[in-house]
Chains A and B, each alone.
Chain A
Amino acid sequence: MKTDIEPISSAAGSPPQVRTRSIGRAGDKIFLGLSRGSGIALLVIMAAIAAFLTYRAAVAISKDEANFLTTFEWNTGSSPMRFGIAVLAYGTVVSSVIAMVIAVPIAVGIALFISHYAPRRLAAPVAYVIDLLAAVPSIVYGLWGALFLVPHLTGLYTWFDDYLGWTGILSYQGGAARSLFTVGILLAIMILPIVTSVSREVFRQVPKMHEEAALALGATRWEVIRMAVLPFGRSGIISASMLGLGRALGETMAVATVLSPNFLIETSLLDPGGGTFAQNIASHFKEAGDGGRDALIASGLVLFVITLLVNGAARMIIARRKEYSGTAA
């Protein structure tokens, strides 16, 4: 925390340099005004985002002949319009959950690799490369996913179908692997860097003395991690995952390039179909008329609210952790 620094203010009854001081004061006022104004501008933008989206969404939903929440249809070209977000909500949640299930354990593993396992010469470059990979644009992931990952997954999916097809959710009818599961895998690869670097930062902050305490009791490296590192880093891992989840939920172009969408909920995760909020907006935008655009905005508002909730939860966990570890770190 910073200390309080008051601007040089009227120290009682010492008026020798009135002129320069009044200039200083005017400058201070202008500067404070500008910077406070910027802060307020930020708040106004946020409020405007919520307000405009809600307004357009209300317009759209009032024209919707079907139930906005439960309809399996996106028909905004005709009037009356019939559209609903059920498929999108399902696809968004399912693909993000798959991404989390794959990415979080691996990311924690990589973070541990960098902080505790890798030879020192390897650790720093690996961390650096992971940070750089966070900067690869999502459309490039999308292109790679569509042209490289998808063809390479058909073999794996056939295999899943052979052994796990009886479950229903992992059956595969063949064809291009442009399914929600593929989206999940791609999203996992995309959020890996961010989850890794946040977790790594947390693991790095584990006080050395707690690790030494465990070592001195005769703990193996894994036991040190379980006794001292993971308990200390748990909330950090959770918030890192939530940040990753926020990214996965809102990812647009990578999903739009990889998924072959429709407005059905397939039982199998491996068969093409389904959609996500963001992908649906990008895919339907060009052909949408005025009403269609409003309908897409309405679905965007739902996405906005979901990501707000997820990110808010992540921030709360981080804030709680700061209080908790304030003395220890």
Chain B
Amino acid sequence: MAKRIDVSGLTAYYGSHKAIEDISMTVEPRSVTAFIGPSGCGKSTFLRTLNRMHEVTPGGRVEGKVMLDDENLYGSEVDPVSVRRTVGMVFQRPNPFPTMSIFENVAAGLKLNGSYKKSELDGIVERSLKGANLWNEVKDRLNKPGAGLSGGQQQRLCIARAIAVEPDVLLMDEPCSALDPISTLAIEDLIGELKERFTIVIVTHNMQQAARVSDRTAFFNLAGVGQPGKLIEIDETERIFSNPSVQATEDYISGRFG
């Protein structure tokens, strides 16, 4: 189930532009790891290399290793489709499929991976929606379009969709940046619950959020415009926010730049 991610010497490109350079880190299972840093520092790019979504962008390519337990995601035999099936992702803007109902949205990933009886599907959809703290709000209108929900509900629907296929890892790319404070709180609570079952990596612009939800925090920075982003340090969240070992981290956290 929840797995450890071990990244070593990872560099990602957009065409000839180097977006991130030589990143190595370990993400612990059953914990929340937050990525923070100024805009353009490559934290989202790095996140997308963890489920091979980066290479979907035209010109995107990656060097280095990402070990999921003992399997290299970039091994030559590895199928990127299976990687994305194993490492789920939630995006910045809620993106339920507009032509599908709430039920179909949650079941979308399952239907790709085999055939289920109606009763099995019902059970999984219900569990996933409960897991995303959305069941009570939508149980009476599962056949309504998912696009009719509020932004926060849509985002939780997307989380339900992602966890329905039982991934090992859940990546979240600024999941709250398009949401109001109340919805944000709901998602943050949910992240706290989900970490008992999944390895969670979250990119956030909001340092308070990183401090609230994460166990470990990684700080990314770039030397200048056009320069590749780099990992500055990763440590226990408490340590990063109280007593970071690198000056740049402290400057960023105390609001001196970024």
A residues adjacent to B (C-beta < 8 A): 120, 207, 209-210, 212-220, 223, 227-228, 231-232, 325, 327-328
What mask results when residues 134 to 163 of chain B are scored 1 for a CB within 8 Å of chain A, else 0?
000000000000010000000000100110
* 8 Å CB contact of A223 from B51, B112, B158: B112
B109 at the interface (CB under 8 A from A): yes
Report the interface size for chain B: residues with CB under 8 A from the other chain. 29
Establish whether residues B147 and A227, one from each chain, have CB atoms under 8 Å apart when the complex forms.
Answer: no
CB-based contact A217/B112 at 8 Å: yes
A210/B97 contact (C-beta < 8 A), A217-B161, A218-B82 known: yes
Contacts of B51 in A (CB 8 A): 216
The complex places the Cα of A110 from the Cα of B82 at a distance, in Å, of 28
The tally of CB-CB contacts under 8 A between chains A and B is 69
With A219-B81, A328-B147 known as contacts, the answer to whether A213 contacts B112 (CB < 8 A) is: no
Q: Does the CB pair B93–A217 fall under 8 Å?
A: no
Which residues of chain B have C-beta atoms less than 8 A from A216's C-beta? 51, 53, 84, 88-89, 91, 162
A231 to B97, CA, bound (A): 9
Q: Is the CB of B53 within 8 A of A212?
A: yes
Question: Could you tell me if B98 and A217 are in contact, using CB atoms closer than 8 angstroms?
Answer: no
Instruction: Contacts A210-B98, A328-B98 given; indicate if A215 touches B82 (C-beta within 8 A).
Output: no
- CA gap between A56 and B248 in the complex, in Å: 86
Asked if B108 contacts A227 (CB within 8 A), the reply is yes
**Which residues of the other chain, A, contact B93 by a CB distance below 8 angstroms?**
209
| Complexed CA–CA distance, A219 and B81 (Å) | 6
Q: Do the beta carbons of B81 and A220 come within 8 Å of each other?
A: yes
Instruction: Decide if B165 touches A218 in the complex (CB within 8 Å).
Output: yes
A217 touches B53 (CB 8 A): no
Cα-based distance from A327 to B147 in the complex (angstroms): 10
| 8 Å CB contact of A213 from B82, B113, B158, B165 | B158
Q: A212-B56, A215-B56, A218-B82 are in contact. Are A232 and B99 (CB under 8 A)?
A: yes
Nearest CB of A to B14, in Å: 13
CA distance A227 to B108 in the complex (A): 8
